[in-house]
Amino acid sequence: MITLRKDAIARSSFETSFEFPASLIKQYLYCPRIPYFILVFGIRERVTELMKSGKEYHAKKLKKLREEGWETNVFLRSKKYGIYGYVDALKKDENGYTVLEVKDTEYRRNAVKMHLYQAASYALMVEEVFGRVCRIVILYRDKEVEFPFNRGIKRYCVSIINKIKRICENGLVYRPNRVSRCKNCGFFKFCRGL
């Protein structure tokens, strides 16, 4: 007779075959319609010059972090949460892992939430694959911000993952949170008609 541990039973109830990139969590927090356009319609945001220069900055920063002993650009997939993506950097110490997210922008208080929960999604994957994550670090051009990877952050991140899944399963299109963001959104021309 095979007996399953309680945590194995709980884990299997969360596993899913539907997957999406963890970076969509940041997009969802910018506007809940963006995951809908990407996952349901397959629409991609146009690549701008700013995005290209950001990619170059990102590569230089990751190279420097590698030289400092960080594991960089690690691809992970979570069966439990149905997300995947590249963790910018992670490092193990005596307390557990630190997950580091690099941002090619100056620190802005109103953007921290988006960046924190994107990094938290990577932390969920690191925890599932490697073990305990103790903190998240977001590295801006002008500032480093650190958060403990606590139960509240985990719960909220999982709730966002579940909301994105519901958007795709049910075809729900939420109204934008802040209409002031619409004019700068790469999906604006698709969104106007909805």
Instruction: Answer yes or no: is pLDDT of 66 > 50.
Output: yes
DSSP notation for 120-159: HHHHHHHHHHT--EEEEEEE-SS-EEEEE--HHHHHHHHH
| DSSP for residue 68 | T
- From CA 107, how far away is CA 76, in angstroms rounded? 27
In this predicted model, what pLDDT tens digit does every residue of 44-61 receive, in sequence order?
776 666 667 778 888 999
- From CA 59, how far away is CA 64, in angstroms rounded? 9
Q: Which of 22, 38, 12 is nearest to 77 (CA)?
A: 22
- pLDDT tier for residue 176 given thresholds of 50, 70 and 90: low
Q: What is the pLDDT of residue 11?
A: 41
Q: What is the pLDDT of residue 138?
A: 97
Q: What burial class does residue 114 get, using C-beta atoms within 10 Å of its C-beta: 0-12 exposed, 13-18 middle, 19+ buried?
A: middle
**Encoding tokens for residue 179?**
């209409």
Helix, coil or strand: residue 32: coil
In this predicted model, what pLDDT tens digit does every residue of 74-114 receive, in sequence order?
999 999 999 999 999 999 999 999 999 999 889 998 889 99
Complete domains list, the chain, with CATH? 6-188 (3.90.320.10)
Computed over every residue of the chain, the mean pLDDT equals 83
Residue with tokens 């909220």: 156
- Say if residues 104 and 138 touch (Cβ distance below 8 Å): no
- pLDDT tier for residue 10 given thresholds of 50, 70 and 90: very low
- From CA 22, how far away is CA 151, in angstroms rounded? 19
Residue burial 25-62, b: 16+ Cβ < 10 Å; e: rest: bbbbbbbbbbbbbbbeeebeeeeeeeeeeeeeeeeebb
